[in-house]
Amino acid sequence: MLAFALLVGLVLTTTSCSVPTSVNPGSDFVQEDVIFDDEFYYCRVEPMLFAPSQSCGAGVAGKDPVNGCHFSVTKFRLTDYTELVATSCVGDALGPTSAVTMAAQQNYTAAQARMKRDPQLAALLQRPLGHAQHPRQIFTENSAEADVIRQWATQFSSQ
């Protein structure tokens, strides 16, 4: 009888490791929403995306497809507007005269959808680095631009 119990225990131990299992999170499961800091976006991220050195919106003639950049046809669509919110920022925060336009809000929403708490998983970083599908490398791994996006990954709240 002891030998039988040991055999059953051995079979259960060896088969339970190879049988796929999953955890049922239950009916009340809620995944926490992460909201990235909008002020940091307006004051640091958006100006970097709009900078002539990046040309994420209009693209670079001769390097990018015609009408193929973020002001025109991509899923990550940026709205071109003048007088960026950043012109009224004080450091990384909106200033007392800051006016966040609908265009700016649309850009923030589009960028946030491509951001992750782990920037190594964020399309907003991986695509311009050339680590994911993108027409060209926009900046390098050790650049100040990459650091701005990594810093934004730490600027969030949960709601």
Asked if residue 11 is part of any domain, the answer here is no
Asked if residue 19 is part of any domain, the answer here is no
Asked if residue 8 is part of any domain, the answer here is no
The per-residue b/e assignment along 86-103, b for 16 or more CB within 10 angstroms, e otherwise, is bebbeeeebeeebeeeee
Cα 15 from Cα 58, distance rounded (Å): 58
Tokens 């336009």 correspond to 101
pTM beyond cutoff 0.75: no
Asked if residue 3 is part of any domain, the answer here is no
Question: What is the rounded average pLDDT for all residues in the chain?
Answer: 80
Which residue did the predictor score with more confidence, 7 or 97?
Answer: 97
Asked if residue 18 is part of any domain, the answer here is no
What confidence tens digit (pLDDT) does each residue in 16-73 have? 455 555 566 666 544 557 899 999 999 999 999 888 776 676 666 666 666 667 666 6
**CB under 8 Å, gap of 24 or more: what pairs does 23-26 form?**
none
Asked if residue 16 is part of any domain, the answer here is no
Contacts of 83 (CB under 8 A, 6+ apart): none
Residue 110's pLDDT is what?
Answer: 92
Residue 106's pLDDT is what?
Answer: 94
What residue numbers bound the domain in which 119 lies? 33-154
Percent of residues, the chain, with pLDDT higher than 90 = 45
Cα 90 from Cα 98, distance rounded (Å): 10
> Cβ distance 77 to 69 under 8 Å?
no
Residue 63's pLDDT is what?
Answer: 66
Number of domains in the chain: 1
Asked if residue 27 is part of any domain, the answer here is no
Asked if residue 55 is part of any domain, the answer here is yes
